[in-house]
Amino acid sequence: MRKFDFEDFLAAIEKYKIRYLFAAPPIVIRMAKHPSVAKYDLSCVETIMSASAPLGSDSEEELEARLGTCSLTQGYGLTETGPFCSLPPLSRHLRRPGASGVLVPNTECKVVDPSTKKELGPNQDGELWFRGPQVFKGYLDNPVATAATLDKDGWIHTGDIGHYDEDQYLYIKDRIKEMIKFKGFQVAPAELESVLVTHPAVEDAAVVGRPDQEAGELPMAFVVLKSGRMTTERDIMDFLAGVSLQAFAGWSGNCEVDP
């Protein structure tokens, strides 16, 4: 394809019997929700690997249920880490929804409070730092950028927020610079977006922070509805209020609906 077209993408999978796919989260979400998917035989697909941005466990499970035959996995890495830091276990029964796998061999990870630089423990969100043989040596002819990213002990500071659990599975939340600072909490837009797209009328969603004198920032959602579906801003706000989100008690921002 000269440029990406969703229908051509689906047709190519069917025509060439593609077994393994690499797809960014927006494509995964579209495959889980778009009505056009039903027109194509995608039973050939065995595994879909998603990376480059966080993907909620609900979207994972929705796509697996829709296709029936495939396993959706996630990994994590950067160009500067050649490229993976974590990959899903080979055994499907060891994989966990929403997790970006476990560390690849010879790789270390620590989670650090972005403000205090204190190392955090399991299930505590902070900036992800990695060290290993795949970590780059620095940016060509750019010592300032190198010093800001790679410390003297060989740890790369990713700028991503996440955590690991008691079994060392890695979970990615969002980029530090995209976090919404709400009443002292760090709220990940991707976490809110992953909940919004589970609403039965919602096709896609994007969340940003807007300045607020009292709270610092309030989350503001832009929502695209599925074709032929109707809902209201109030309905979506009530839907979010009924969902428990880590480090964010209740929804008190704004929502704009695009039919």
User: pLDDT tens digits for 85-120?
Assistant: 999 998 888 999 999 999 999 999 999 999 999 999
At residue 249, the pLDDT reads 46
| Average pLDDT in the chain | 90
Q: Which of 56, 31, 35, 33 is nearest to 45 (CA)?
A: 31
> What distance in Å separates the CA atoms of residue 117 and residue 95, rounded to the nearest whole number?
30
Report phi then psi at 145, rounded to 5. -65, -40
Angle at Cα 4 formed by Cα 172 and Cα 87, nearest 5°? 30
For 9-58, give the secondary structure using H, E and C: HHHHHHHHCCCEEECCHHHHHHHHHCHHHHHCCCCCCCEEEECCCCCCHH
How confident is the model at residue 186, as a pLDDT?
A: 76
* Window from 36-50, 53-67, 165-179, 244-258 with minimum mean pLDDT: 244-258
pLDDT tens-digit map of 144-199: 999 999 999 999 999 999 999 999 999 999 999 888 888 777 788 888 898 899 99
Three-state secondary structure call for residue 190: helix
Q: Between residues 245 and 15, which one has the greater pLDDT?
A: 15
CB count within 10 Å of CB 221 equals 24
**Mean of pLDDT values over 33-51:** 95
pLDDT (mean) for 223-248:
80
Domains and CATH numbers, the chain: 6-74 (3.40.50.980), 102-173 (2.30.38.10), 179-258 (3.30.300.30)
At 3 the pLDDT is 87
Orientation of helix 189-196 relative to helix 233-241, angle to 10°:
110
Q: Tell me the helix, strand and coil percentages in the chain, rounded to 5.
A: 25, 30, 40
Least confident of 141-150, 189-198, 219-228, 243-252: 243-252
Name the 3-class secondary structure at 130: strand
Is the pLDDT confidence value at 250 over 50?
Answer: no
The pTM score is 0.76
50-66 mean pLDDT = 91
pLDDT for position 191: 85
Q: What CA–CA distance (Å, rounded) separates 86 from 63? A: 22
The length of the chain in residues reads 259
Q: What is the dihedral of CA 236, 239, 241, 243, to 10 degrees?
A: -140
Element (H, E) at 127: strand 126-131
> What does the pLDDT read at residue 7?
95
What does the pLDDT read at residue 219? 87
CA end-to-end distance (rounded Å), the chain = 29
pLDDT value of residue 252 = 54
CA 167 centroid distance within chain: 20
pLDDT category of residue 255 using cuts at 50, 70 and 90:
low
In contact, 88 and 74? CB cutoff 8 Å: yes
